[in-house]
Amino acid sequence: MSVTIWHNPRCSKSRQTLALLQDQGIKPIIRKYLDEPPTLAELAALQKMLDLPVIAFVRTGEAAFRQTGLSKTASDDDLLAAMARHPILIERPVVFANGKAALGRPPEAVLAIV
Protein backbone atom coordinates (compact mmCIF):
# COMPACT_ATOMS: atom_id res chain seq x y z
CA MET A 1 0.00 0.00 0.00
CA SER A 2 1.31 3.41 -0.97
CA VAL A 3 0.66 6.21 1.51
CA THR A 4 1.57 9.85 0.93
CA ILE A 5 1.45 12.67 3.44
CA TRP A 6 1.45 16.35 2.55
CA HIS A 7 3.60 17.37 5.47
CA ASN A 8 4.74 20.57 7.15
CA PRO A 9 7.44 19.68 9.69
CA ARG A 10 6.76 22.92 11.61
CA CYS A 11 3.16 21.86 12.32
CA SER A 12 2.56 19.79 15.45
CA LYS A 13 -0.50 18.01 13.97
CA SER A 14 1.51 17.14 10.89
CA ARG A 15 4.35 15.73 13.00
CA GLN A 16 1.86 13.80 15.16
CA THR A 17 0.15 12.34 12.09
CA LEU A 18 3.47 11.29 10.55
CA ALA A 19 4.51 9.65 13.84
CA LEU A 20 1.14 7.87 14.07
CA LEU A 21 1.58 6.43 10.58
CA GLN A 22 5.12 5.34 11.37
CA ASP A 23 3.95 3.75 14.63
CA GLN A 24 1.52 1.70 12.51
CA GLY A 25 4.50 0.41 10.50
CA ILE A 26 3.68 2.65 7.54
CA LYS A 27 6.53 4.39 5.73
CA PRO A 28 4.72 7.15 3.87
CA ILE A 29 6.02 9.17 0.99
CA ILE A 30 6.58 12.57 2.56
CA ARG A 31 5.77 15.55 0.39
CA LYS A 32 6.73 18.84 1.96
CA TYR A 33 3.94 20.67 0.23
CA LEU A 34 5.32 24.12 1.03
CA ASP A 35 8.47 23.24 -0.94
CA GLU A 36 6.62 21.28 -3.63
CA PRO A 37 3.18 22.92 -3.85
CA PRO A 38 0.28 20.92 -5.24
CA THR A 39 -1.10 21.95 -8.59
CA LEU A 40 -4.59 23.29 -9.09
CA ALA A 41 -5.55 19.89 -10.55
CA GLU A 42 -4.19 18.08 -7.47
CA LEU A 43 -6.15 20.39 -5.18
CA ALA A 44 -9.34 19.85 -7.18
CA ALA A 45 -8.78 16.08 -6.96
CA LEU A 46 -8.22 16.43 -3.20
CA GLN A 47 -11.55 18.20 -2.84
CA LYS A 48 -13.31 15.32 -4.60
CA MET A 49 -11.50 12.74 -2.46
CA LEU A 50 -12.35 14.54 0.78
CA ASP A 51 -15.92 15.20 -0.37
CA LEU A 52 -15.89 18.42 1.63
CA PRO A 53 -16.51 22.02 0.69
CA VAL A 54 -13.21 23.61 -0.30
CA ILE A 55 -13.44 26.09 2.57
CA ALA A 56 -13.27 23.11 4.97
CA PHE A 57 -9.60 22.56 4.12
CA VAL A 58 -8.49 26.18 3.87
CA ARG A 59 -6.52 27.72 6.72
CA THR A 60 -8.60 30.87 7.04
CA GLY A 61 -6.55 32.17 9.96
CA GLU A 62 -3.41 32.57 7.85
CA ALA A 63 -2.33 36.09 6.93
CA ALA A 64 -2.27 35.05 3.25
CA PHE A 65 -6.02 34.40 3.46
CA ARG A 66 -6.69 38.01 4.38
CA GLN A 67 -3.98 39.42 2.13
CA THR A 68 -5.47 37.76 -0.94
CA GLY A 69 -8.85 39.32 -0.19
CA LEU A 70 -10.56 35.97 0.29
CA SER A 71 -13.56 35.38 2.50
CA LYS A 72 -15.28 32.28 3.80
CA THR A 73 -17.91 32.80 1.10
CA ALA A 74 -15.38 32.91 -1.77
CA SER A 75 -16.03 30.53 -4.65
CA ASP A 76 -14.41 27.09 -4.69
CA ASP A 77 -12.47 28.10 -7.81
CA ASP A 78 -11.07 31.20 -6.09
CA LEU A 79 -10.14 29.22 -2.98
CA LEU A 80 -8.44 26.44 -4.96
CA ALA A 81 -6.51 28.99 -7.04
CA ALA A 82 -5.39 30.77 -3.87
CA MET A 83 -4.19 27.51 -2.32
CA ALA A 84 -2.25 26.68 -5.48
CA ARG A 85 -0.54 30.10 -5.30
CA HIS A 86 -0.16 30.11 -1.50
CA PRO A 87 0.16 26.51 -0.24
CA ILE A 88 0.35 27.77 3.35
CA LEU A 89 -3.45 28.06 3.03
CA ILE A 90 -3.87 24.28 2.73
CA GLU A 91 -5.05 22.64 5.94
CA ARG A 92 -2.50 20.13 7.08
CA PRO A 93 -1.62 17.38 7.11
CA VAL A 94 -3.30 15.54 4.26
CA VAL A 95 -2.83 11.80 3.90
CA PHE A 96 -3.56 9.83 0.73
CA ALA A 97 -4.00 6.05 0.71
CA ASN A 98 -6.13 3.48 -1.09
CA GLY A 99 -7.56 6.07 -3.48
CA LYS A 100 -8.81 8.19 -0.58
CA ALA A 101 -7.66 11.26 1.32
CA ALA A 102 -8.05 12.37 4.92
CA LEU A 103 -7.08 15.40 6.95
CA GLY A 104 -5.00 14.63 10.02
CA ARG A 105 -7.17 16.72 12.33
CA PRO A 106 -7.16 14.92 14.64
CA PRO A 107 -4.22 12.74 13.57
CA GLU A 108 -6.23 9.55 14.22
CA ALA A 109 -8.65 10.53 11.43
CA VAL A 110 -6.18 9.24 8.85
CA LEU A 111 -6.35 5.69 10.22
CA ALA A 112 -9.73 5.24 8.52
CA ILE A 113 -8.07 5.23 5.08
CA VAL A 114 -4.91 3.22 5.72
- Give Cβ neighbours of residue 62 (< 8 Å, ≥ 6 apart): 86, 88, 89
Helix locations, 1-114, DSSP H: 12-23, 40-50, 63-67, 76-85
According to DSSP, residue 90 is labeled B
Sign for the CA dihedral angle at 28, 16, 90, 75 comes to positive
Residue in 4, 11, 52, 111 annotated catalytic:
11
Does the annotation count 51 as an active-site position? no
CA pair distance 47, 62, nearest whole angstrom: 20
- Which among 40, 37, 14 has a CA at the least distance from the CA of 88? 37
**Catalytic residue list:** 11
